[in-house]
Amino acid sequence: MGDQVSGTDGTAQGAFPGMPLPLYSASPSRLLAWLDCPRRYRMQYLDRPRPATRPPRAHTSVGVATHHALRDWWDLPDEVRTAAAGPELVRTSWIDVGFRDPDQSATWLATVQAEVTAYLGGLDPRHPPVGLERTVAFRTRTIALTGRVDRLDDRGGELVVVDYKTSRRASTTDEARTSLPMALYAAAVWKMFRRRCVRVELHHVPTGTVAAHTHTDESLTRKVAEAESIARDARAADAQFREIGVASSLFPPHVSSLCAWCDYRAHCPEGQQVGPERSGWAALERAEASGASLASGDTS
């Protein structure tokens, strides 16, 4: 095909007329990264070699350990799959990275052990999920989407997408309703399992609360169209990046309070104006200061 020049819509000029555009391959995280900050998107997904990121933060360690413990619980033999298994599962999953000091790590280990144990107490161990950390995918004429569902339940014949949340603040039904990733997961499950899937749930592990939403066929269709619209913009930007690299103006920094938490801040002069950078354990300290016994992934 020789050298090609990309148009502003991501088309490859010089391609045969009528040739379909390549699908934009993405996860929900990639789509949201594009919306949040095109500069960060570029560094995370396009720049090669990828710029070095800052070390992982403690609230990320807490979130990962919680997810692993809740996943591994289902692998236990029936006779020991009880809430009492929670503390040991958290202990073996614990990631001692990002904390201020060993005391803070130990304090949060105990906190998360208690939260996970309480959450497990509300589950029926005889009713395993249909999927755990299940990869789901679907394609449209624009996008090839791939994602991973924390848990997929079958509730009396109805498939339900469950996402675990470990932030300081409990999730809201509005967040469940508007979440683009959750809607895309439901659409992907529907396609893969050939069974209608419209209910999505955010399970806030620290409080055991559930924020749920039941989509309609129309609302899921709107969310897929939203993803396609984002994908078209990102695909066009990707194409220009392939042509002119960092000279592209399609990746401006979106400076906000989130810059204080950005993993790529060291490479972003504009974002460094928002300061100071948050420490690896800052989110946990905010939770401690508020009196919440919660792990925090909430960086807003």
Shortest reach from residue 28's CB to ligand SF4, in Å: 18
CB 136 within 8 Å of CB 189: yes
Q: Pick between residue 235 and residue 265 the one whose CB is nearest to ligand SF4.
A: 265
Nearer to ligand SF4, 182 or 262 (CB): 262
Closest to ligand SF4 by CB, 175 vs 270, is 270
Output DSSP code: residue 139. Answer: E
Per-residue binder mask for ligand SF4 (CB under 6 A), 241-260, x = binder: ------------xxx--xx-
Say whether residue 85 binds ligand SF4 (CB under 6 A).
no
Per-residue exposure over 56-66, b if at least 16 CB sit within 10 Å of its own CB, e if not:
ebbbbbbbbbb
Closer to ligand SF4 by Cβ: residue 36 or 228? 36
Distance of closest approach, residue 59 Cβ to ligand SF4, in angstroms: 17
**Which segment (35-43, 53-61, 120-128, 241-249) binds ligand SF4 by CB under 6 A?**
35-43
**278 binds ligand SF4, rule: CB under 6 A:** no
Bond into 49 cis (ω within 30): yes
Among the candidate windows 8-16, 36-44, 80-88, 198-206, which touches ligand SF4 by CB under 6 A? 36-44
Q: Which of 240, 171, 197 is nearest to 13 (CA)?
A: 240
Q: Residue 265 interacts with ligand SF4 (CB under 6 A)?
A: yes
Structure tokens at 264: 């790529």
**Closest CB 233 distance from ligand SF4, rounded Å:** 16
Check residue 57 for interaction with ligand SF4 (CB under 6 A): no
Is 197 among the residues that bind ligand SF4 (CB under 6 A)? no
Counting contacts by CB under 6 A, is residue 37 touching ligand SF4? yes
Q: Does 237 interact with ligand SF4 (rule: CB under 6 A)? A: no
DSSP class per residue in 145-189: EEEEEEEEEEETTEEEEEEEE-SSS---HHHHHH-HHHHHHHHHH
270 binds ligand SF4 (CB under 6 A): yes
Closest of 154, 153, 148, 116 to residue 133, by C-alpha: 148
Which ranges of 179-300 would DSSP assign to H, the alpha helix? 180-193, 217-244, 282-290
Member of 6, 31, 33, 39 binding ligand SF4 (CB under 6 A): 39
Burial of 286 (0-12, 13-18, 19+ CB in 10 A): middle
Q: Collapsing DSSP states into helix, strand and coil, what is residue 138?
A: strand
Of 30, 40, 199, 203, the one binding ligand SF4 by CB under 6 A: 40
d(CA 10, CA 251): 15
Q: DSSP letter at 128?
A: -
CB 195 within 8 A of CB 152: no
Q: Which is nearer to ligand SF4, 207 or 272 (CB)?
A: 272
144: contact with ligand SF4 by CB under 6 A: no
Could you tell me how many residues of this chain bind ligand SF4 (CB under 6 A)?
14
Query: Contact positions toward ligand SF4, by CB under 6 A?
Result: 37, 39-40, 253-255, 258-259, 262, 264-265, 268, 270-271
